[in-house]
Structure 1
Amino acid sequence: MITTNDIDALAKAKVVDRDGDKVGSVGQVYVSDDGAQPLFVTVNTGLFGTHESFVPLRSADFSDGELRVAYDKATIKNAPNVDADGSISDDEQGSIFDYYDGHAGGTASGTRGSTTGLTDADRSTTTGLDRDASLDRDATRDLDTDRGTVGHDTSGPTTDDAMTRSEERLRVGTQQVETDRVRLRKHVVTEQQTVTVPVSHEEVRLEREPITEANRGDALDGPDLSEEEHEVVLTEERPVVQKETVPVERVRLDTDTVTEQQRVTEDVAHEEIDVDGADRSTR
């Protein structure tokens, strides 16, 4: 059973018929005047969801974002055209219930009243193939009575001797829908880098030179025998690492429009006119 707790989740929910075939998506939800019971939804049907059909929520089931109603797809698409303007009058509500009660797949019990929501009131009807067949026969008989039996067409019941042949034609357009979202996100990644740096150091080398006339004075300068020390300081280079942050590039997201051809397939109906009882060919 659909409750008021399901109203928010019903918005844009997928609608399937009693056989599990997709019908469309939920447009609006209509509840009773006291707000206690959801009674109707409008279903966006048609090639691009351009038609809204009212469907009663009696015997409907809602789970996992999918609304399964108790009627077949054809019955829903051919439902009476009622403006989805925020409220349903008693007459409009009655015509909706009468329509669904008169077609196979409708359930017998329902709720009628006035809507912005609708007031709760149970009404009893009978269902089954016998009732549906009877309603279809009554509707056909009334239709024949209203229209007459000769020359009924869009021009009037019996106004002329011609009939108009009509056909459905596809009008295909496009609409912009959101398919995906792409965002840039920056994060820090730490990695090791190895850099080879040339470094130098000093090493001690012992040099010996013989006493010659050139260095004899330096050699004999000082006492004959003594103790002394000479010290040499050795140095070396060591790597010193410093880091700096520098900008390397600018990255942005942009979009390109790619146009491709898609084939759209939809059933269209047309009328054909046959001539019965003609004894001779005509032009």
Structure 2
Amino acid sequence: MIGQEQVTGVIGREVYDSDGDKIGTVGQVWADPAGRPAWASVRTGLFGMNESLIPLQVAQVQGDRVTVPFDKGVVKDAPNVDADADEPLSGAEVADLYRHYGLTWDDSESQGGAGYSSGYVDASYDSSVGHDTSGPNTDDAMTRSEERLNVDTERQQAGTARLRKYVVTEHEQVTVPVRREEVRLEREPITDANVGKALDGPAISEEEHEVTLHAERPVVDTEAVPVERVRLGKETVTDTETVGGEVRKERIEAEMPDEGRRDLN
């Protein structure tokens, strides 16, 4: 028997018969006047507007499926309801269902029921609460949620910079002034001032005079002198990057009387 605590998890589950054949999926649930789940509709086709009803007092939840102790054909031939209707089951409809499945009031009681009578009400389960197929009953509002991207940054090494000093040889030219001595011939007449020096020595003789000449030449040498100091500095710059990711968003649609299906987003 499917109890009140299981009813929200039943909607949308697949229904299998006593031979393990799939019948369809659970659409809606009806409760008895005491609020206990009593009947569920089963969608047995893709396009059918009617849904067959099964008794929940003899149904069981096994893993992700609902099983009933009836043949698939029996369920498909059961009294059905309009899939778009939102009306309580009448006493006559309940009586027809009991007869079709061969159930009696005593059968329901032996399964833990409390006497299913003709006073059935619509069981979209309890009109005072909402029914979330993914969790427990909530209030009469539906919450729509969506995922959002949370973007942060992390610090990681992007590269390494280093200073390295090496020696290269270049050719330079410098213009340097140099001096040199040149010989010139100077003549002076014999005068009273120099006659003494002129007559010093033999009257006639052979003689040589020698003059040493000097000249400057460039001398190249090098010395190391400091020119500048170089260091590595860091600064922080800010760029922008565009990132993206997949997010899921819930959408809500409503089916309104005389309006059909409407997207609320």
Task: Give the TM-score of the pair, scaled to structure 2.
Answer: 0.49
Higher RCO, Cα 8 Å, sep 6+: 2
When Rg is computed on C-alpha atoms for both structures, the one with the higher figure is 2
Task: Give the TM-score of the pair, scaled to structure 1.
Answer: 0.46
